[in-house]
Every structure is written in structure tokens, then in C-alpha cells.
Amino acid sequence: MASIRFRVFALVPQPRRAAGLAAALSLALALGGCLSVGDVTGSLGGSSSRASLTAPLPTGDAALRQYAEVWGAKFEANPTDRIAALNYARALRALSRYDEEVAVTREAAIKSPNDFALLGAYGKALADVGRYDEASRVLAGADTPERPDWSVLRAQGMVADQLGNYVDAQRYYSEALKINPNEPTVMSNLGLSYALQKRLPEAETVLRQAASDTRADMRVRQNLALVLALQGKFGEAEQISRRDLSPGDATANVAAIRDMIAQSNTWRQIQKLDPKEPRLKEAMPATAQADDPAN
């Protein structure tokens, strides 16, 4: 099975940023394709509503490294300083230093076992390195029914999706949306969860709603473009991608998805999802059409 590399931005847990798109990988596997992992933006990161983080995360590698050094020194001087631990972990995640992120959050959580923000950060760090079973257990203790945290619920949903527990994932997202209605990041995750179940029309509906929110960022829009392309709506997918990416990158993203579909039986699986969609037949590559038993 051929390996395809392309750049799309996803709001899903990523084992590592070194090689690909966790969302597209999961979707491709669910639909019978195969992608290599590559350039991913957006992990389980993001401050908890209880974290009380006061130092904004800078942009650029040099600034991030300096930020990490400052907060790392504060954490080493006082490992019980929760703000130092949380900010240091954020910097490590942004620098893709995930093993260090796990070590820092683990030490902080051990020293403050009743601190929900630190437990949440530790659970998210475990998910960043692909330790989803452990992440699920830790995140379950990072919240209480009396004081639910939408960001923890969202993280639990993303971990459940990675474990293939889509019904549980969607329940977590629904609970998060009760606390923070129409939050585009949660809506985007919910849409991807539907897509992982091959419920592409429902995924598109939810992702369109998320992308229309003024708070939505490029990752939400690229997730919508991904789901549109998986349904054969390549023109619209490329148009949406161009809102944030260069024309060349947008075209390359859509072309990669087309290649993925052409190299597997994904076309026939998608057609079964929506057999009345004429664009699928029209957009199908000639080689795929030749193999289609409907011809």
C-alpha cells in the first residue's frame, strides 16, 4: 500500500509531530487507505480553564526555547510551583519535546495529586506520546461531575477516538459543548469523530458549523476541507484550503487525498455512504473508474 505525505492541520491527538497527520491517518485507515504521518498542528494542548496561566505562549522557535528555559528554571527551583510546571509543559509541547513534557507533568502531578489542572496536563502529555490507555485513566481523575472542565472532556473525547471508542468520544464532546456551547475546537473534533465512523455527511454538517464560527482557526477549516475531499468534493475542499494555505499547498493537499483514494478501494466505500452523490463518479480518477464494478 503506497504511502502519501501531505500537510493538513488537525485538532486531534498526535503521537508525535515528526511524521504526519493523525486525523488524516485515522480517517484514511477507517476508509481503507494508508498515509504516512507528517506535519501536524494542534495537539491535546491548550490551557485548562483552571490552569490560571499568566504567561502567553510566544511564537517562533527561538522565543519558545527562551520561554522554556525561563519556566524550566523556575520549575527546577520549585517543582511544586504549578504555574511554572504548566507553562514549562506548554513550551515543551510547542517544541515537540513530548517525552520531557510527560516527565515534567508527571512529577508535578505526583507532588500535587489533587490539582486537576496538573492531572489534566499529565493526561494530555501522555496522549501526545501515544500512551492513550494511560491518558484515559489519568484524565478520568482530572475532573469531577460537580466541576466539569470542558477542555478535559474534549481531551477525553480525543483519546477515546484514538482508541476507537467513537460513541464514548462523541458523548464527551457533547458534554463539553453543554459547558462551552458551539466551541469550534470541540465541534471540529466531533466532526472528525463522525468521519472516523464513516458518517461523512454528518461530519461535514458539524464541521461547516464549526468553520462558520468567528473563533474558528485554520485547523478547523482544514478539517472541513479534508472531509469534503474524502467525499469527492475536491473543488470546494481546495477553495476552503486556500483561505489559509498557499494555492500550491492547497492543491497538493487535495491531490494527495485523490491519490490516496485512487490507490485503494476507498471510492467504492465512499459511494456506499452516499450513492446519490454524482460528484464522486465525476471526480473519480480514470484508473479507479476502470476498476469500479459499476462500469
Residue range 58-72, pLDDT digits in tens: 888 899 999 999 999
Contacts of 182 (CB under 8 A, 6+ apart): 209, 213
- Can you give the pLDDT at residue 263? 66
Question: How far is the C-alpha of 139 from the C-alpha of 28, rounded, in Å?
Answer: 27
In tens, the pLDDT along 128-166 reads 899 999 999 999 999 888 888 999 999 999 999 989 999
Helix axis angle, 247-262 to 266-273, nearest 10°: 90
| pLDDT the model gives residue 255 | 87
96 lies in some domain: yes
> Do 10 and 87 reside in the same domain of the chain?
no
Three-state DSSP at 25 gives helix
Give the C-alpha separation, 226 to 289, whole Å. 22
In a shared domain, residues 115 and 221: no
* Whether pLDDT at 189 is above 50: yes
Rounded distance, CA 174 to CA 195, Å? 16
pLDDT at 240 over 80: yes
> Does 94 share its domain with 136?
yes
How many domains, in total, are found in the chain? 2
Q: Are residues 214 and 287 in the same domain?
A: yes
**pLDDT for 294 beyond 50:** no
Domain contains 212: yes
Residue 153 is assigned to a structural domain of this protein: no
Spatial distance between the Cα atoms of 68 and 74, rounded to a whole number of angstroms:
10
Q: pLDDT category, 288, cuts 50, 70, 90?
A: very low
Which domain, by its residues, includes 197? Answer: 1-45+184-295
Segment 89-104, tens digit of pLDDT: 999 999 999 999 999 9
What number of other Cβ atoms are within 10 A of residue 90's Cβ? 23
Distance from C-alpha of 63 to C-alpha of 117, rounded to nearest angstrom = 25
User: Which ranges of the chain does DSSP label H, i.e. alpha helix?
Assistant: 22-30, 61-77, 82-94, 98-111, 116-128, 132-140, 150-162, 166-179, 184-196, 200-212, 218-230, 234-241, 247-262, 266-273, 278-283, 286-291
Using 50, 70 and 90 to split pLDDT, how confident is the model at 268? low
User: Rounded to an integer, what distance in angstroms lies between the CA atom of residue 292 and that of residue 295?
Assistant: 6
Does residue 58 belong to any structural domain of this protein?
yes
Per-residue pLDDT reduced to its tens digit, 206-223: 999 999 999 999 989 989
Last residue of a domain, one of 148, 176, 197: 148
| 158 in any annotated domain | no
Query: Is 164 contained in some domain?
Result: no
Same domain? For 244 and 138 the reply is no
Q: For residue 179, tell me if it sits in a domain.
A: no
Q: Do residue 12 and residue 119 come from a single domain?
A: no
Provide the angle, in degrees to the nearest 10, between the axes of the packed helices 150-162 and 184-196: 20
Residue 15 clears pLDDT 80, i.e. is over it: no
Listed in sequence order, the residues at least 6 apart from 142 whose beta carbon sits closer than 8 Å to its beta carbon are: 116, 119, 120, 122, 123, 149, 152
CATH number, domain at 36? Answer: 1.25.40
Task: Tell me, yes or no, whether 118 and 82 share the same domain.
Answer: yes
Q: Is residue 174 part of a domain?
A: no
Give me the pLDDT at residue 253, please.
Answer: 84
Residues 240 and 270 in one domain: yes
Domain of 77, CATH number, reads 1.25.40.10
How far apart CA 39 and CA 21 sit, in angstroms, is 6
Q: Are residues 59 and 105 in the same domain?
A: yes
On whether both 83 and 33 belong to a single domain, the answer is: no
Q: Is 167's pLDDT higher than 70?
A: yes
